[in-house]
Amino acid sequence: MSTEVNEEELSKRRALLLQASRDMAFEQMSVGARMVPFAAGVNREGEIKFFRFAEVDTQVPMAEVYSDTQNRMAGAAKEGSVIASTTVAIVEDSGLEDGFQTAVGVHVEEPGFSRMVLAPYRIDPGAGEDAKGKLVTGEMIAYNVAPVVFAG
């Protein structure tokens, strides 16, 4: 197999993992669930599995839940049970473009690759008493960050 094909497959896996993680976060919010940090991992067979290590009603600060989630995924990476992962949480950032102040943060990692992707969103209120809000998403922003899950 050529290096180009391998890089293409890795890129596709990262994109699929990112999309699945982002969609899972928006799905949780769309049903009114509290967004608690969670993770996704790709096993050696190429399957994506989701993990949540804290209950929705946890009183633990979200930053601690996020850190614990990353630590647990790092343990799974060291054991070899995941070959790529994401850790996902809500990020408040008044510096986002187009008036967005909140984003789903998806930290995508695998050996030699670590990016944070912010998926800005807001919920515009609906009209009338029983109207549902509308999810409005912005353009995703990606930047390099230090690895955590595959740091070692």
CA-derived radius of gyration, the chain: 16
DSSP 103: E
Cite the DSSP H helix spans in 1-152. Answer: 3-30, 62-79
Query: What's the pLDDT at 130?
Result: 67
Question: Tens digits of per-residue pLDDT, 85-105?
Answer: 999 999 998 788 888 999 999
Q: How much of the chain, in percent, has pLDDT values that exceed 90?
A: 70
Question: Tens digits of per-residue pLDDT, 48-74?
Answer: 999 999 999 999 999 999 999 999 999
- Three-state DSSP at 25 gives helix
Contacts of 37 (CB under 8 A, 6+ apart): 52, 54, 62, 65, 66, 69, 87, 88, 89
Q: Whole-number mean pLDDT of the chain?
A: 90
Give the closest residue to 117 by CA, choosing from 151, 88, 76, 82. Answer: 88
> Where residue 3 falls among pLDDT bands split at 50, 70, 90?
very low
Q: Do the strands 102-110 and 84-92 form a parallel or antiparallel pair, or are they unpaired? A: antiparallel
Question: Tens digits of per-residue pLDDT, 114-144?
Answer: 999 999 998 888 766 666 778 889 999 999 9
Query: What's the pLDDT at 40?
Result: 98
Decide: 110 and 150 in contact? Cβ < 8 Å: yes
Domain ranges of the chain: 3-144
Rounded mean pLDDT, 23-39 = 89
Does 4 score more than 70 pLDDT? no
Query: What's the pLDDT at 2?
Result: 42
CA dihedral 16, 14, 141, 100 (to 10 degrees): 40
